[in-house]
Homo-oligomer: A and B are copies of this chain.
Amino acid sequence: MTEKLLGSIEAGGTKFVCAVGTEALEIKKRVSFPTTTPEETMALVIDFFKQYELKAIGIGSFGPIDIHPESPTYGHITSTPKLAWQDYDFVGEMKKHFPLPIAWTTDVNAAAYGEYVAGSAKGLSSCVYYTIGTGVGAGAIQKGKFIEGFSHPEMGHMIVRRHPEDQFEGWCPFHGDCLEGIAAGPAIEKRTGTKGQELSSDDPIWEIEAYYIAQAAYNTTLMLAPDVIIFGGGVMKQRHMMEKVHDEFEKLVNGYVKTPPLKDYIVTPKLEDDPGTIGCLALAKEAYEAQ
C-alpha cells in the first residue's frame, strides 16, 4: 500500500507549481504549468494530482484572494488584473475533484510559512517574507498565525521615497511609483532595456534597487519588528544585492532601533527556490491534522 501524500499548489501569475510530498516535507514530485485560463491551467493541475492518493492539499495563490472562511466567496481569487481569473472559485473547484482538507492562503504567505517551519525563521517567533520578482509581495507570520485582518497584506504597494537619481515614473497601474511599481523586475527592465539577470553587478541600477528594498525592510522593521525579514524572488538572485540592502538599511535606521545582527535579520530564503512548495505542504499537513 502506498503512503498517502500531501499536495502543494503554488499558484503564481506566470506559472503554477504543483508538487506532492510527505509529512516530513520531502518533495516527491514537482511539475509546473503556465498560468493561462482557469479551464486550461486547472485541467492540468487536476490531472497531475489525480495520479496520487492525497490526504490534503495546500494552496498558495496569487491575489488578492478571499481568506475569510465565513465569507460566501471564501477560496476565490477576487479583483486580480488577470481577468480570466477574476472571481474564480479556486478552492471550490479543487473540492469538486478532491474532497479533502484544503489549506488556502496567498502565495507569499505560503512561502513565509515554508521559511517559518523549515527555513530561515525556523525556531523563531515571527518572520516576514518578501518576493521581489515580476511583482512584489509579502507574507507575515507571528507565532504560527498569518498577519491578517479585513484581508491579507499587500506590502508590495507600500509608499517609498524616490532615489534622488531615479527618474523612472513607475509602472504600477494603481500607484505609479509604489514599491512594486519602482522596484519589481519589470521596473528594472523598463529603465535599462535589459532584464535584471543580464545586467552586470556594478550597474548603477542595483544601488537604486537596494535603496528601495532597504525601505521595505525599514518599514517592515518599524511596523512589525519581526525576528527575521527574508527577501526572495528573481531580483534577489543577484547575490551582491544583500550587502547593498544592508548598507542602505543601516543608513535609514540610523541607530534608532537595535535589530538583530543584519546578517541574521535581513536574509535570502534558506529553502532557496522551495519555500512556497514546502510552505504549501506544511499547510496541507496542518489542515489534515486539524480536520
Chain A residues at the B interface, C-beta cutoff of 8 Å = 64, 78-79, 124-126, 140, 142-143, 145, 147-161, 174-175, 215, 218-227, 252-260, 265
Contact = CB atoms under 8 A, between A and B. Distances in A.
A155 B256 CA distance: 12
Nearest to A172: B256
A93 to B, nearest CB: 23
A158 B222 contact: yes
B225 A256 contact: no
A125 B149 CA distance: 7
Contact of A155 (B78, B147, B154, B223): B223
A224 B256 contact: no
Contacts of A220: 223
A221 to B, nearest CB: 8
Contacts of A223: 140, 153, 155, 158, 219-220, 223-224
Given A147-B142, A149-B126, A254-B175, A155 B222 contact: yes
Contacts of A158: 219, 222-223
A153 B219 CA distance: 10
A108 to B, nearest CB: 13
A225 B153 contact: yes
Contacts of A258: 78-79, 151
Contacts of A255: 174
Contacts of A254: 174-175
B174 A256 contact: yes
A256 B160 contact: no
Given A79-B258, A142-B147, A159-B161, A154 B64 contact: no
Contacts of A147: 142, 147, 224-225
A149 B222 contact: no
A156 B256 CA distance: 12
A256 B151 contact: no
Contact of A219 (B142, B219, B253): B219
A243 to B, nearest CB: 21
17 contacts: A79-B258, A125-B149, A140-B223, A142-B142, A143-B145, A149-B224, A150-B225, A150-B226, A151-B225, A153-B225, A156-B222, A159-B159, A159-B161, A161-B161, A175-B252, A223-B224, A224-B224
